[in-house]
Structure 1
Amino acid sequence: MSKIAIIAGEGRLAPAIAEHLPDAPVFALEGFPPPIPASTFRLERLVPFLDHLADLGVENVVFAGAVRRPALDPASFDPRTAQLVPRILTAMQSGDDAALRTVLDIFEEFGISVSGIDEIMPSLIPPEGIVSGDPSAADQTDAARGAEIVAALGPLDLGQGCVVAQGLCLAVETLPGTAAMLDFVARHQGLRPNPNGALGVFYKAPKPDQDRRIDLPTIGPDTVDQVVAAGLAGIAWQAGSVILLDRDETARRARDAGVFLWSRSG
């Protein structure tokens, strides 16, 4: 295999990939420190960073973890990266998907290929099946509705998740992310039409036509805690398309709390 580097972001994914690839150098965008040691780089000096990767013999990178849009400092651009500014800014104005695709394109134009998590560590992405618990018929209906909603939101380049209870969408994921959405649901549990009815489901999936090499949805132990605080029955996601971190611990917390984890087909 060609020499690979890790572009690490926030959250638990980067440590898992670094453990799997112990010899891979780790880099992180300045201002978004991962929970593992990493050399930093600035987007304003992207071309020198790509040159540095080439000098190290890196031919392949994997992006692991969350990174928000950085605030750009016009005075910090080097001359060669400055030539990319119109392209980068146009992509950022078109939404997250366009910005991510542009970044991947630039890496590849400099001879560095980009691998997805499903290529590097496929064991993190569960196939179809129940990981924990037993979704009821009502839960299954709510999950199906959630899948419809996330698919419909995709062309608008919004988030990768939603919460549905009793057929009603209680919240959708937007720029603040999953934790903010589930916190909203926790503070508005009275929105359910029938207080004694189905508790609701958190559903997660990639956006349709999303480039799977970067920004796949992620679920982990903290997600379970947030779902429990929101009073939901469980978590469902698109099978083969969502990263499940710390599977044993995530499943344990789900069992202890009585919530289900379901890798759902379709």
Structure 2
Amino acid sequence: MTTPTIRTEFAQRTSLKPGDRIAIVAGSGRLPVNVAESLSAAAHSPFIVMIAGEVDQQADLAAFEHQSLPLEDIAGLVPLLKRHSITHVILAGGIGRRPNWRAFRPRLSLVTLLPRALAALGKGDDGLLRALVRMLEGYGFKVIGAHQVVPDLLAAEGNMTNAKPLKTDWRDLDAALQAARAIGALDIGQGAVSIGGRVVALEGIEGTDEMLGRVASLRGHGRIAGKKRGVLVKSSKPGQELRADLPTIGPLTVDVAHAAGLAGIGIEAGSSLILDYRSMVERADALGLFIVGLHAGKPQ
């Protein structure tokens, strides 16, 4: 296995000063844990804001100073951050649902937040993230991306595993990459699956794992029955807010892709994240899957 080098402007580490205080607004997945552990190793113990009902790595995150915040009390984020003298904010992890606006807790800051948030909803998930980033910056916080703190999380270009794509796999990688970019432009999702040169599944609001579950059930469908291999590709949305919600894969992605009968995974290099890299590669090698970082142009 070779470790390719990252050839992108996104791999620029943010310089943190000794007095800086960093908060991680944490959703689901391993990303908040990876970022928190990296910050702690660099002598910047983070403050974790756990979005209630979304965090699934509570045991690991509870090792750090933390507080839970309901999604419907998101307007309370600003006073919470100010009470803890936060200077930098990282948005990390997934949010599996939209907030119930009718259940929002009344706060003075909600008067200015709600109109902007409602307007952003019409522009999709990325528009909502941009509105949240702008709101935080408007209150004086510096919003940074997880990759700016832990640049090693960024996917590098090239092969990462013992297994390598076959010639037929490159056709699938190209088809799935084009499809992922197309739905990304519409702010629908970040991933697509291609089998036998045909795009068979697109990621929607359900997420990557659920999409791959659908692919597993489609294996007996007439159009792809008997066809083997196939690939998952994830790429960032065109013009995406790069400080939040970058495409992400990890060991669990490998397991679900294998269960769907796929031969490998392609991930856009330089603007996608890899969690628990060593464990992911070891798992892929054990299952015989390839993982490849794709150039921002074409896969080959």
TM-score range, shorter chain: over 0.9
Shift of 1:72: 2.9
- Matched letter for residue 8 of structure 1: A
Per-residue displacement from partner, 1:174-222 (whole Å, max 9, x unpaired)?
A: 0011111000000111347465555111000111110110001110111
Given that 2:155 and 2:268 are in contact with CA atoms closer than 8 Å, whether structure 1 keeps it comes out as: no
Cα distance in 2 between the residues matched to 1:221 and 1:14: 15
Q: Which amino acid aligns with 1:56?
A: H
Structure 2 residue aligned with 1:130: 159
Secondary structure of the corresponding residue to residue 185 of structure 1: helix
Distance in 2 between residues matched to 1:155 and 1:14, nearest whole Å: 26
Correspondence 1:209 to 2:231: no
Q: Does 1:15 align with 2:33?
A: yes
- Identify which range, 14-23 or 32-41, moves more after superposition: 32-41
| Paired AA for residue 9 in structure 1 | G
Does the aligned pair in 2 maintain the 1:13–1:65 contact within 8 Å?
yes
* Secondary structure, aligned partner of 1:19: helix
Q: Which residue of 1 aligns with 2:192?
A: 162
Match for 1:19: what amino acid? E
CA distances 1:22-74 after superposition (whole Å, capped 9, x unpaired)? 21111022232341223122454444431231232211111111113222344
**Where does structure 2 lack aligned partners over 5 or more consecutive residues?**
1-15
Aligned runs of 1:149-228 on 2, under 5 Å?
Answer: 149-191=179-221, 193=223, 195=225, 197-228=227-258
The yes-or-no answer on 1:97 pairing with 2:121 is: no
CA distance in 2, matches of 1:265, 1:190: 33
Please identify, of 53-62 and 230-239, the stretch whose mean Cα deviation from structure 2 is larger: 53-62
- Corresponding residue number in structure 2 for 1:235: 265
Secondary structure in structure 1 of the residue aligned to 2:204 = coil
Asked if residue 26 in structure 1 is aligned to residue 48 in structure 2, the reply is yes
Say whether residues 1:116 and 2:174 are aligned partners. no
Match for 1:64: what amino acid? Answer: A
Question: How many pairs were matched up?
Answer: 266
**Within 1, Cα distance between the matches of 2:39 and 2:194?**
38
SS in 1 for 2:238: coil
CA distance in structure 2 between the partners assigned to 1:33 and 1:126 by the alignment: 24
Amino acid corresponding to residue 186 of structure 2 in structure 1: L
- Check conservation: 2:89, 2:144, Cα contact below 8 A: yes
**Structure 2 letter corresponding to 1:113:** K
Q: In 2, distance between residues paired with 1:245 and 1:24? A: 19
2:21 aligned partner, one-letter code = K
Structure 1's 48 and 174: CA in aligned 2 closer, same or farther, altered over 3 A?
closer
Larger deviation, residues 169-178 vs 193-202: 193-202
Cα deviation code 1:84-121 (max 9, x no counterpart): 21211121233101111101110000001111122110
Whether contact under 8 Å (1:166, 1:193) holds in the other structure is: no
For residue 237 of structure 2, give the secondary structure of its aligned residue in structure 1: coil
Which residue number corresponds to residue 142 of structure 1?
172
More divergent stretch after superposition (49-58 vs 242-251): 49-58
**Residue of structure 2 equivalent to 1:53:** 81
Deviations 1:217-243 (A, max 9, x none): 110111111011100110001111211
Q: Distance in 1 between matches of 2:277 and 2:233?
A: 17
RMSD across aligned positions (CA): 1.7
User: Normalised by the size of structure 2, how large is the TM-score?
Assistant: 0.84
Corresponding letter in the other structure for 1:70: P
Give the structure 1 partner of residue 12 of structure 2.
Answer: none
Cα displacement (A) at 1:166: 1.4
TM-score between both structures, scaled by the size of structure 1: 0.94
- Provide the C-alpha distance between the structure 2 equivalents of 1:245 and 1:40, rounded to a whole number of angstroms: 23
SS in 1 for 2:280: helix
In 1, Cα distance between the equivalents of 2:125 and 2:104? 24
Residue identity matched to 1:21: L
